[in-house]
Structure 1
Amino acid sequence: MANWQEIMTFIGESNRDVKLLEGDEKTGREECFDLNIPEKSLLYEIVCNTGGIVIDDWIRIFGQTKDNIGISHYNKEFGASHEMTGLFVVASDIVGGLFAININRFEDEANSIWYFAPDTLEWECLEMKYSEFFSWALQGNIDEFYETMRWNGWKKDAKEVGFDQGILIYPFLWANECIIDNADKKAVPFDELVALNFENEKRLFEDIYDEK
């Protein structure tokens, strides 16, 4: 997928519900320059040509930033937090998960995609580069990946959630008490959902540390 036309062809071959948010090429190029995104890379093409890509109303691949939505916004919003040190976030999902390129946070799998899982509050390596992640999101088995985080009726709920929102699930996905079909679900600003996950992660692991 060396150019945008090839990328569009690949997107068109997906059997998933894919939505492209409108982008401005000039704005995208400037943003790529500011973020040091290499020219002719897949990430460069996506940021240059879209405001983001939404897959099954669940996964959001970040494009250029507009109205506090996009790759610059989220990296600036989350980049100052300890949880994002050495990572470059490129996508999210509606339950608060984050997909990020490992720049220098973890010794293993540099430049691979790591996932901040809202059901464990930990980063896990997906053993994929960005291009592989893009292919997986469009044509891979994401249903199996999210099997324990989805509920009866999730498709209907997901359609009502904006790109700048997420679904807060309570009891939290990481809690032993969480039975996903019975849990309360509420659309909230995505920034707040991620901040809450990071806050819970910090508190949870501080408690474990104190017990030791």
Structure 2
Amino acid sequence: MHELEELINVSDPAWPELLELFAASAAPVEVLPGDAAEGRRGLLQMQLTARSALGGLVLNSGGLVVDHGWVRVFGGGSAGRGMPSLAQVNQFPVAFDPAWHPATGLVVGHDVVGGVFALNGHDPAAVGRPGVPGQMIYFAPDTLAWEAMEMGHSGWLTWLLSGRLETFYDGLRWPTWREEAEALALGQGITVYPFLWSKEARADLGATRRRPVPMREVLGAASDFVRQMGPADPGFLGDV
């Protein structure tokens, strides 16, 4: 176990480089003010140093709001803005517990239609997830399945801000998505009916009915449908 001060006081912290990445972002990005105590709690439980991108983000920010609010990246939490911390989303113990580890991996981001970005745990195959330990995967709300992204967390942050989201979300965004995403509170998502995985939505996404609801409801609907109809239980999608 490393003490908190060891994790924080490193000679080459990631935060200055992250700030440069945010400043050069091809997508709009808002860096939220963080809760210092909550950020430190997350850092200690993960046993990550501020040298890592994930550790730097959790320690120095409340999280990120990316691309007009379409993607939320979890950091130290920002209670004033309604953004939960990485520790809260992943149900970290209140006090440091060296025996506790995320059962299936670490949820690090959500998008407003129920997509989930996560870091694989030590044995993804055991819980039916693709990819390798320590790499990013994505739960796609239009296929209701996990997809390997073949990159780590720092590479994912770079990719997220590179301007490639338009291609990644092709078929999942309708003409007024920017206005609808920007109007949301950070605890809300968008429910789409007919559902994104339906033939009707794929044929004409712009004709679907959409409304803002608590993010928990968006994730819960997808999870319930998969458990009832298959193909496989998606597992933990984050506590929001």
Question: Which bracket does the TM-score occupy, shorter chain normalised?
Answer: 0.7 to 0.9
2:226 equivalent in structure 1: 201
* Cα distance change, pair 206–91 in 1 and its aligned pair in 2 (3 A): closer
Q: Is the 8 A contact 2:188 2:213 kept in 1?
A: yes
What residue ranges of structure 1 are gaps of 5+ in the alignment? Answer: 78-83, 208-212
More helix by percentage: 1
Deviates more, 1:12-21 or 1:91-100: 12-21
The DSSP-based 3-state class of the residue aligned with 1:127 is coil
Q: Distance in 2 between matches of 1:24 and 1:75?
A: 16
Which of 43, 55, 68 matches 2:66? Answer: 55
Q: Distance in 2 between matches of 1:11 and 1:192?
A: 30
Match of 2:121, as an amino acid? I
**What does the per-residue CA deviation read over 1:91-125, in whole Å, with 9 as the maximum and x for residues that have no partner?**
11011100000013524421110000000110000
Q: Distance in 2 between matches of 1:22 and 1:168?
A: 28
Q: CA RMSD in A?
A: 2.1
The reply to whether residue 118 of structure 1 matches residue 141 of structure 2 is yes
After TM superposition, the structure 1 = structure 2 runs for residues 25-40 of structure 1, keeping only pairs within 5 Å, are: 25-40=36-51
What residue ranges of structure 2 are gaps of 5+ in the alignment? Answer: 1-11, 93-101, 126-130, 233-240
Structure 1 segments of 4 or more deviating over 2 A?
Answer: 24-27, 34-39, 65-68, 104-108
Match of 2:180, as an amino acid? D
| Aligned-pair CA distance for 1:37 | 3.5
Q: Is the 8 A contact 2:38 2:87 kept in 1?
A: no
The reply to whether residue 71 of structure 1 matches residue 125 of structure 2 is no
1:81 equivalent in structure 2: none
| Aligned-pair CA distance for 1:85 | 4.7
After TM superposition, the structure 1 = structure 2 runs for residues 84-103 of structure 1, keeping only pairs within 5 Å, are: 85-103=103-121
2:7 equivalent in structure 1: none
Q: Is the 8 A contact 1:85 1:105 kept in 2?
A: no
Q: Distance in 1 between matches of 2:177 and 2:154?
A: 27
* Cα distance change, pair 26–74 in 1 and its aligned pair in 2 (3 A): closer
**What does the per-residue CA deviation read over 1:102-152, in whole Å, with 9 as the maximum and x for residues that have no partner?**
013524421110000000110000111101100000114110000100001
The DSSP-based 3-state class of the residue aligned with 1:48 is helix
After TM superposition, the structure 1 = structure 2 runs for residues 1-212 of structure 1, keeping only pairs within 5 Å, are: 2-56=13-67, 57-67=69-79, 69-76=84-91, 85-107=103-125, 108-178=131-201, 179-205=204-230
Q: Distance in 2 between matches of 1:74 and 1:12?
A: 27
Q: Distance in 2 between matches of 1:189 and 1:33?
A: 29
Q: How many equivalent pairs are there? A: 201
Deviates more, 1:18-27 or 1:161-170: 18-27
Identity %: 32
Q: Distance in 2 between matches of 1:205 and 1:30?
A: 36
